[in-house]
Amino acid sequence: MTNRPRLALACAACVGIALSLLPLHVDAQKTDRAKTLGTKLMCMCGCGQILTQCNHINCPSSGHMLKELDADIAKGEADDLIVQDFVQKYGEKVMSEPPAKGFNSIAWYIPGVAFAIGLGIVVTLIRLWRQRDVARLATVSGAPPVPPTADSELRDIQLERAKRQVDRETEE
């Protein structure tokens, strides 16, 4: 009978050690609200990943931050207040996307503006190249250069004439 208490104590010690070696079980990823809030925050371990997606084994930050998130959600705090608490505690770098106000709003507009400017440059260059090619072919054939306002049918006829002239000259 004296072996049973020792065996139970040894089993309990083994279970306790095994549980302490397992990674922290995190409940923050179970509710939709926690998932949504977790995607608005960054893990502060320096990995550059979203809080709920930090996959570092024994990450020094994500477990603690997720526990804080769980506690705030359990208290019933509003989402904005929870995010503001994290911003006050860790700074604005904890946010996964810059707020769309002040100087940070430029980060939201620059990609669209840059795309529009680039598209405008490409379209302008293509138009200039096409006009230059038509004018060059027209001068080779001896025909007067086509004004940019001439209708397309006349331009096509002159372009065809210029191509025939170039073909004749290259055959000789």
**Domain regions of the chain by residue span:** 24-97, 104-171
Residues 57 and 73: beta-carbon distance below 8 Å: no
Which of the four pLDDT bands, split at 50, 70 and 90, describes residue 141?
low
Q: How many CA atoms lie within 13 A of 22 on its CB side?
A: 9
Three-class SS state of 109? helix
**Residue 96: count of CB within 10 angstroms of its CB:** 16
The stretches of the chain forming alpha helices (DSSP H) are: 3-21, 32-39, 62-75, 79-90, 105-141, 152-171
Summarised one tens digit per residue, pLDDT across range 15-42 is 767 666 554 444 444 677 788 888 888 8
- pLDDT recorded at residue 105: 76
Confidence of residue 122 (pLDDT cuts 50, 70, 90): very high
User: What tokens does 106 get?
Assistant: 């430029």
pLDDT band of 95, cuts 50, 70, 90: confident
The whole-number pLDDT of residue 118 equals 96
Q: How many CB atoms neighbour CB 42 within 10 A?
A: 24
The single-letter code of the amino acid at 134 is: V
80-89 per-position pLDDT tens digit: 888 888 889 8
pTM: 0.45
Average pLDDT on 107-135 reads: 88
pLDDT at 19: 62
Q: What is the pLDDT of residue 117?
A: 96
Q: Report the CATH number of the 24-97 domain.
A: 1.10.8
| Number of residues that this document lists for the chain | 172
pLDDT band, very low/low/confident/very high, at 114 (cuts 50, 70, 90): very high
How far CA 120 is from CA of 46, 74, 112, in Å, comes to 39, 52, 12
Token output for 38: 């977790």
pLDDT score of 51 more than 90: no
